[in-house]
Structure 1
Amino acid sequence: MSDPLKIVVIGLSLSSSWGNGHATTFRSLLRGVADAGHSTLFLERDVPWYAAHRDMPAPDFCELAYYTGIDDLVARFGRAVVEADAVIIGSYVPEGVGVIDRVAELRPRLLCFYDIDTPVTLANVTGGKEEFLAARQFPLFDIYFSFSGGRVLDRLERDFAARNAVALHCSVDEAYYRCTGEPAKWDLGYLGTYSPDRQPTLERLLIEPARRLPEKRFVVAGPQYPDDIEWPANVERIDHLPPPEHPSFYSRQRFTLNVTRADMIAAGWSPSVRLFEAAACRTPIISDRWEGLGELLPEQEAVVIADSSDDVTSALAMDEDRRRRIADTASEIVLAAHTGRARAAEMIAALRNLLNRRKFPERSPTRGNTRELAW
């Protein structure tokens, strides 16, 4: 049996799901890593907007620590970086370009990137916007884990000189996301932070159907929606819904809506974590259209594709037997291939494959102050 791996992850947030989807993605993945017997130290920039909304300040599946800036990160956790089997830096990390450069200077055994926003990253870098990753940094990583798969992986290696681009989709923690059995409260719901490029689709696929069907009930949960949006009277608003309440939220919907960002539609093969969460809760999904969706969830068998308001109103009139069949099919697919354990196995296999192809000196035992890292 192979020795357990020691992994350091520097990510946007694990402690707070407020206004981001990274936290739930990392929680599912790293719980799967722990279940497989490996240890992780997650390093998160201590920022006030997440500090004020921490819904998981003390995870039981990894060690979580905070840093105040790049110098603090290197000074306090440099040894952990050097001694780890792999260091994984996530997308949208504050001062990401500087973090990558300083961590690379420490020469970790494996330096990897986990891009949970690949289509947005590529659009930004192509447009000269290097907020958290610079074009020159793609070749620095031994493995470029990508939220998006399909042809996006070819593009990463061909156009951006990434080495070993590997698909690592989001996943769902099946121990938490399951049908609660509660009676339906809403005919159609949506869970997501406000985004200007998603709003027209939300207007077309939820708000307009709500106007047409005043006898039905709708709900939109998520922060940062502008005050000037005119919500129909039958659309309930929930400003923030912490992850522990997600299963109940999904279970009380007859259908849930998936809305994809424009960059991700353009790239394709970029499934939102919300797809997997809803499917695990056996809630039928109505989704906008993008390339690669049918490869994950067969169209009209495990997901309903909607291009227009008419498509949504027709779906809401679906007979109960077909509605349940769609939900059950999606659930079976997701629980077989898209759980945190499944995704962790994919990641660990990629790391081990590269580690086994290289020769490293034996790790020396950790000495000195280990308050931040209990390895």
Structure 2
Amino acid sequence: MRLVVLGLSLSSSWGNGHATTYRALLAAFAARGHDILFLERDMPWYAQHRDLPDPGFCRLALYDGLDGVEAFTPDVAGADAVLVGSYVPDGIEVARFVQATARGVILYYDIDTPVTLAALERNDCAYLSRAVIPGFDLLLSFTAGPTLNRLEAEFGARNAQGFYCSVDPARYHPTGAARRWDLGYLGTYSDDRQPTLDRLLIEVARRAPDRRFVVAGPQYPAGINWPDNVERIEHLPPDTHADFYSACGWTLNVTRADMIRAGWSPSVRLFEAGACGCPVVSDRWEGIEDVLHPGSEIILADDTDAVLALLEAPTHRRDAIARAARTRILASHTSSHRANLLETLILMQRNRDLMR
């Protein structure tokens, strides 16, 4: 199968969660014998932070502007499937180009579904419009649950399917790194996540000065008052993530407000941390039980006291949660599982098209 992907970024994981999601999925898809071309808009902020300029599992091509996309017309027209991702620059025009050019199955992969729908409702989504949604054969949604019905009933999606992110267990596994921090968080700054980070990590650090904490990720404002026992790491390349999680006693998951409202929107850090044997403490949202079972595979916390109590829990409890989460993730949430699902969905759609 020949697959063309037009996504936000594959070459750079700086300031976005798309790159690691695409890398895991497409490496597993390529391992199934498929040929992949990834088209990425050449943006200066990614050019300065390229940590995968030459992926071995697919061809990567950078382009400038819409004219640059049109240079790949033969590839798009000749592909068995073409996938357009969320947050692609000039995404509406890119979608129109793909829909007018592709002869194979056309998919949209929204890695930001609740954010996208909120922007569509405000009529200010820069990368997707209501008009182009019905032109895709399949809409793969980072968010499952009731949102799938909304995508079809309210936004005109022809076939909306839940498609969570995943983890590559060859890259994310326990590394034996020495324990450095009691609690860590890996994520780009976001206004709507910061109050939860304040409550579930920064205030915890203030009240537990003898413990060690870490926050890794870019774009945090200079005015944040970090306690002395919170280490800051501006950017953590993906090839260091496994060591990072292995060195944390617990990792914190913080969810954006739009995704909490929608539910059924697991962050990739749940899978990556869990695959590394690091137990996760998370904010609370509907649908988490479809991914990891609260209390035995993940811990949900509402306030500072809950996290402080967790850090005092016996080691055997932490280890039991870590083992249970890793077992569940390897059984259900690896990149191989998602690649198999992607292949199945494309083939089913192609068969439906042939029967028309």
Q: Specify the TM-score bucket, using the shorter chain as the normaliser.
A: over 0.9
Number of positions where the alignment pairs a residue of Structure 1 with one of Structure 2:
355
Aligned counterpart for 2:27 among listed residues 12, 25, 31: 31
Q: Please state whether the residue corresponding to 1:65 is helix, strand or coil.
A: strand
Separation in 2, partners of 1:320, 1:203 = 25
**Structure 1 residue 103, shift from structure 2 partner:** 1.7
Show structure 1 runs of 5+ residues with no match. Answer: 361-375
Separation in 2, partners of 1:356, 1:132 = 29
Aligned AA (1:146): S
Separation in 2, partners of 1:266, 1:248 = 32
Separation in 1, partners of 2:102, 2:165 = 28
**Structure 1 residue 107, shift from structure 2 partner:** 3.8
Separation in 1, partners of 2:290, 2:120 = 28
Alignment of 1:254-265 (within 5 A): 254-265=249-260
Separation in 1, partners of 2:263, 2:168 = 24
**Structure 1 residue 183, shift from structure 2 partner:** 2.0
Aligned AA (1:320): T
Matched, 1:330 2:303: no
**Structure 1 residue 98, shift from structure 2 partner:** 1.0
Verify the 8 A CA contact 2:130 2:156 in the aligned structure 1. Answer: no
Q: Please state whether the residue corresponding to 1:145 is helix, strand or coil.
A: strand
Aligned AA (1:70): L
Separation in 2, partners of 1:102, 1:266 = 33
Matched, 1:79 2:77: no
After superposition, give the CA deviation of every residue in 1:207-227 in whole Å (9 maximum; x if it has no partner): 000000000000000000000
Verify the 8 A CA contact 2:86 2:127 in the aligned structure 1. Answer: yes
Q: Please state whether the residue corresponding to 2:154 is helix, strand or coil.
A: helix
- Runs in 1 of length 4+ with deviation above 4 angstroms? none
Separation in 1, partners of 2:27, 2:84 = 18
Matched, 1:56 2:30: no
Show structure 2 runs of 5+ residues with no match. Answer: none
Aligned counterpart for 1:318 among listed residues 313, 320, 335: 313
Counterpart in 2 of 1:307?
Answer: 302
Separation in 1, partners of 2:267, 2:341 = 18
**Structure 1 residue 273, shift from structure 2 partner:** 0.4
Matched, 1:101 2:96: yes
Aligned AA (1:167): G
Separation in 2, partners of 1:282, 1:55 = 24
Aligned counterpart for 2:132 among listed residues 104, 128, 137: 137
Separation in 2, partners of 1:160, 1:357 = 22
Aligned counterpart for 1:279 among listed residues 257, 274, 296: 274
Separation in 2, partners of 1:191, 1:130 = 27
- Quick one: percent identity of the two aligned structures? 55
Q: Please state whether the residue corresponding to 1:232 is helix, strand or coil.
A: coil
Verify the 8 A CA contact 2:82 2:102 in the aligned structure 1. Answer: no
Aligned counterpart for 2:66 among listed residues 70, 83, 106: 70
Verify the 8 A CA contact 2:141 2:164 in the aligned structure 1. Answer: yes
**Structure 1 residue 359, shift from structure 2 partner:** 2.8
